[in-house]
Amino acid sequence: MKWGEMSGPRMPCPSDEETPPRPPSLEDFEDASAEEVEALPPDMRCLVRADRAAQALAKVDLITAELTNEVALTEFDKSDWGPGPWQSEPDLLMWRAKAPPHYRCQVSRNYFGSLNGYVAIPPGHPAHGIHFRDARIRGLPSHRGFTWAGEATAGHWVLGFDCGHGFDTQPASNARARRNGWLPRLMEGKEDDGRSVFFREHYRDLPYLRAVVEALAAALGAIESAGDLPPPWVDPEDDEPSTPELEP
Per-residue pLDDT of the chain (248 residues; tens, 9 = 90+): 444 444 555 556 555 556 677 767 777 788 888 898 888 888 888 888 899 999 999 999 999 999 999 999 999 999 989 899 999 999 999 999 999 999 999 999 999 999 999 999 999 999 999 999 999 999 999 999 999 999 999 999 999 999 998 888 899 988 888 887 776 654 555 544 444 444 457 899 999 999 999 999 999 999 999 999 999 877 666 655 444 443 33
165-202: per-residue pLDDT in tens?
888 889 998 888 888 777 665 455 554 444 444 445 78
Residue 101: inside a domain, yes or no? Answer: yes
Residue 30: inside a domain, yes or no? Answer: yes
Close Cβ partners of 39 (under 8 Å, ≥ 6 residues apart): none
DSSP 173: H
Q: Which spans in 94-247 are helix H?
A: 171-179, 196-199, 206-226
Residue 241: inside a domain, yes or no? Answer: no
Residue 53: inside a domain, yes or no? Answer: yes
Predicted confidence at residue 217, as pLDDT, reads 98
Predicted confidence at residue 239, as pLDDT, reads 53
Domain that holds residue 39: 26-226
Residue 20: inside a domain, yes or no? Answer: no
Residue 1: inside a domain, yes or no? Answer: no
Predicted confidence at residue 13, as pLDDT, reads 58
Number of domains composing the chain: 1
Predicted confidence at residue 31, as pLDDT, reads 84
Residue 144: inside a domain, yes or no? Answer: yes
Per the CB < 8 A criterion, the answer to whether 58 and 150 are in contact is: no
Give the three-class secondary structure for 121: strand
Residue 240: inside a domain, yes or no? Answer: no
Give the three-class secondary structure for 116: strand
Q: Distance between terminal CA atoms of the chain? A: 53
- Measured between alpha carbons, how far is 10 from 26 in angstroms, rounded to an integer? 40
Q: Which residues does residue 92 pair with via DSSP β-bridges, in sequence order?
A: 73, 108
